[in-house]
Amino acid sequence: MGGWGAASSQAASCSGFPVKTLKQTQYYPGRAPVEAFNVARTPYTHTDTHTRMRAHTQTHIHRHTHTHTQSLSLARSLAIALSPGILVFPPVNSPSSPALEEAPPSVETSPKFLLPQLCSAVPTSGFGKWILQTQVLLEALYLTVDPYMRIMAKSLKEGDMMMGEQVARVVESKNSAFPTGTIVLAPSGWTTHSISNGEKLEKVLAEWPDTLPLSLALGTVGMPGLTAYFGLLDICGVKGGETVLVSAAAGAVGSIVGQIAKLKGCKVVGTAGSDEKVAWLKKHGFDVALNYKTVKSLEEALKVAAPEGYDCYFDNVGGEFSNVAITQMKKFGRIAICGAISVYNRTSPLPPGPSPEIIIFKELHLQGFVVYRWQGEVRQKALRDLLKWVSEGKIQYHEHVTEGFENMPAAFIGLLKGENLGKAIVKA
Ligand SMILES: NC(=O)c1ccc[n+]([C@@H]2O[C@H](COP(=O)([O-])OP(=O)(O)OC[C@H]3O[C@@H](n4cnc5c(N)ncnc54)[C@H](OP(=O)(O)O)[C@@H]3O)[C@@H](O)[C@H]2O)c1
């Protein structure tokens, strides 16, 4: 469901603050002229205060709580809201906007960043009359930022809403399948409120225990977890006793790949971009973890980590890293090409691909895949397996939680800069 396209067109929505704080009398007035809103600079907040929430659940809150305003170089690339519920995050590499690499470490304020103002157009109560039979009104609890958004955003126009899934609560319902209070996964995009006819909603697993945060439905027990599961088990076809290499190993997908490989009895080597991430990987069972940014020679480090070579490589990053990794494969090795985050942000031509000689003479099997291939019962079984492994403590998870819907751009940029350990989540 959701994710790989612009936000569902069936969903009308309002970005901003919780319904109860909103004041006016029309819920979804359609496209309002931008002048209808106060376009004064919104104080933006960012701090590095880190707070542990539910220490036992390994959730990491990245708070954004102090105010600062700066000049507008990033503002040109972010967050233009034109009408209620329609956010525009223009492609960050569009001609009028700077590349993300130029982004400062914290998100600046855009004079067009209208989230608080937008929601002044929403009434405080009586939503029932604004939704039709079969529709529900959703309020976002957790939203996800994912690398694919960097690619998909390139096709958005001003006025489109940024795509993406969220865990939401049904706050008004005229659809008996989704009574008020139901928790769903919704492809509503970057919005705090949306209206759906239920078609693209998915309830979280009935057996979801109270002890696990619902945000995991966007991570370990959601799309990234499924990507790890199917990529490793189906595409790599991993078997016990094999040696597995995983890149971006401390991320949402990679951290689960390595742990499933360990569950299956493999030797696992993971690479990540900071010593903190490397320490986490070692703590959670990776046989070898390397900081690919600080090793003298990646080729040498991968060789030392697995002198026998790698049976499987779960490739999350592509580019130069993978050109080196492929040289360390065993004959008949299998490579699951999951992602290429190292090149999503490029402004120059693609780097050259891997050596054809190596692929030919090692008789490697390289296969790309998209997680949405697996649907129906096989998907449900995978979700149940992941939930069970997490519940039993066989798979550990970590979340990098950014608080506040208005901090979604900061969370997204942070993901692309490698700030997240585990799944990057925004708590609305
Ligand atoms: N095929 C599918 O169906 C599917 C589904 C989901 C995700 N994916 C792909 O899987 C990959 C991982 O996704 P995720 O959601 O788990 O993200 P993630 O790993 O949680 O976060 C992205 C991580 O990528 C690393 N990174 C960023 N820029 C990089 C660069 N230039 N070179 C190398 N690494 C870089 C950073 O970690 P470090 O600090 O370690 O560098 C960053 O933390 C992405 O390529 C994504 O597109 C594919």
State the burial class of residue 57 (Cβ atoms within 10 Å of its Cβ: 0-12, 13-18, 19+): middle
**Contact of 153 with 33, CB cutoff 8 Å:** no
CA 248 to ligand 1 centroid distance, Å: 6
State both tokens at 427: 């708590």
pTM, two decimal places = 0.79
Low-confidence ranges of the chain (pLDDT < 50): 1-59, 63-124
Compute, in angstroms, the gap from residue 5 CA to the centroid of ligand 1: 18
> Which of ligand 1's atoms lies nearest the C-alpha of 423?
20
Q: Which CATH architecture has domain 223-371?
A: 3-Layer(aba) Sandwich (3.40)
Provide the pLDDT for residue 125.
Answer: 55
Q: How far is the CA of 135 from the centre of ligand 1 (A)?
A: 35
pLDDT at 37: 20
Q: Pocket around ligand 1: residues whose beta carbon is below 6 Å from it?
A: 146-148, 224, 227, 248, 250-254, 272-274, 277, 316-317, 338-342, 369-371, 415-416, 418, 420, 424
Q: How far is the CA of 139 from the centre of ligand 1 (A)?
A: 28
**Where does 5-218+405-427 sit in CATH, by number?**
3.90.180.10
Q: Ligand 1 pocket: which of 60, 62, 146, 341 to mutate (most atoms <8 Å of CB)?
A: 341
Give the per-residue pLDDT at 98.
33
Q: Residue 169: what pLDDT? A: 96
> Which residue is it, tokens 């070579």?
309
Query: Which residues of the chain form CATH 3.40.50.720?
Result: 223-371
Q: Ligand 1 mean position to 252 CA, how many Å?
A: 8
Is the separation of the CB atoms in 110 and 78 below 8 Å? Answer: yes
The CATH 3.90.180.10 domain(s) of the chain lie at 5-218+405-427
Say what the pLDDT of residue 303 is: 98
pLDDT of residue 346: 85
Bridge-partner residues for 166, per DSSP?
Answer: 143, 186
